Amino acid sequence: MSYDVGIDLGATNIKLGLVGGRGKVLARRMLATRARKGPRQALERVADAIVELRGKRRLRSIGIGIAGLVDHVHGIVRVPPNLPGWNGTPVKAILERLTGTEVYCANDVNAVALGEWTHGAGKGTRDLFCVTLGTGVGGGIISGGRLLLGANHAAGEAGHMTVFGNGPACLCGGHGCVERYVGAAYLVDRARKRIRAQLRRLQSHRNQTALFAGMSPDGPSMIFELARGDFARITPREIGQAARKGDRLALDLVEETGYYLGLGLASAVQLIDPERIVMGGGVSRMGLPLLKAVRKTVFSRVQMFPGRRLDIVLSELGGDAGIIGASRLRQCLAVQDSRPGQTFCIR
């Protein structure tokens, strides 16, 4: 039996998996990206992990999804906002030399979209939009049963759609991008600032209520409790947990995030008309409260005419989506028209 290795290379971590023919991850590894130390050290460690995963098994291909714009034909990463120093890295050539195995490269969210389309929440569709919410925000498009890359292999960059023209600066060089409002770091930063403000108010009120018998101020947000009183421990996961328990501050944060993301997704719906949107990535672990907020914004801003097929769902594959999708790049990118962007996929 032959196997494929799928790799999800992000700004923080690199996830690798040995994937069987039915899309099951049979073995996995995780590495720290150490992005600021450059691509060479990361790819050398990836090659070592692949050798370990492969063992004595026959390996057909290696697929890698990379956080950034990617030349899908030549396997070169371009202008990755969250991978400093990686611009122009020939990932395909380096990994093929290090492993002796054929390598296929894609944008990381294109790989996630393939994973969800073939084995996850997008199965059975022909027109799918997949958005991942993490350190960055990315998008992948399946249109008419094929992966849509665009003329410059840059289609689907949902995180860098502008929602506010005069908004704050983004790492991509633009202003008011979706990512600048819903990226994990920005969400956590808002949560920390608001909890600190809560604590300052509580301290002030405590000094006053001590003068009146039977009066006591409410405690800070449940987010702080779930983070064990440590600001460094606050992540989207704690925000989501607090929101599901009805914490007001957490619910406000989730509602804001769903609103900003919904603005971007509403524009995507108007442009590409998907029948389903799949939300994945770390921030999506805020779960149903976020999903409800996104649906509220999107469905209030697009024309829901009779018979329109449009649903928004959470990822079924979770953290394995990028691994599974990357392992299927051989089937997708090897069947390619001579024109850039015309990439057809075999299920």
The domain ranges of the chain are 2-111, 159-314
**Amino acid 68: pLDDT:** 82
The type of residue at 3 is: Y
Cβ distance 94 to 318 under 8 Å? no
Cβ distance 257 to 187 under 8 Å? yes
Choose which CATH entry (3.30.420.40, 3.40.47.10, 3.40.190.10, 1.10.1280.10) describes domain 2-111: 3.30.420.40
**Amino acid 12: pLDDT:** 84
Encode 313-341: b = buried (16+ Cβ within 10 Å), e = exposed.
bbbbbebbbbbbbbbbbbbbbeebeeeeb
Cβ distance 65 to 110 under 8 Å? yes
Query: pLDDT by residue (tens digit) across 212-257?
Result: 444 344 678 999 999 999 999 999 999 999 999 999 999 999 999 9
For residues 313 and 250, give the distance between their C-alpha atoms in angstroms, rounded to a whole number. Answer: 21
Angle between helices 248-272 and 184-209 (to 10 degrees): 150
For residue 169, what is the DSSP state?
A: B
- What pTM was computed for the model? 0.87
Cβ distance 316 to 116 under 8 Å? yes
CA 249 to centroid of chain Cα atoms: 24
**Amino acid 126: pLDDT:** 95
**Amino acid 215: pLDDT:** 37
Cβ distance 110 to 147 under 8 Å? yes
**Amino acid 6: pLDDT:** 98
Is 2-111's fold the same as 159-314's? yes
**Amino acid 331: pLDDT:** 84
**Amino acid 212: pLDDT:** 40
Which residues of the chain are modeled with pLDDT < 70? 205-218, 334-347
**Amino acid 334: pLDDT:** 62
What does DSSP say about strands 137-143 and 128-133: parallel, antiparallel, or unpaired? antiparallel
**Amino acid 24: pLDDT:** 94
Q: Which residues pair with residue 344 across a beta bridge?
A: 146
**Amino acid 338: pLDDT:** 41
Q: Which CATH number does 159-314 carry? A: 3.30.420.40
Cβ distance 266 to 297 under 8 Å? yes
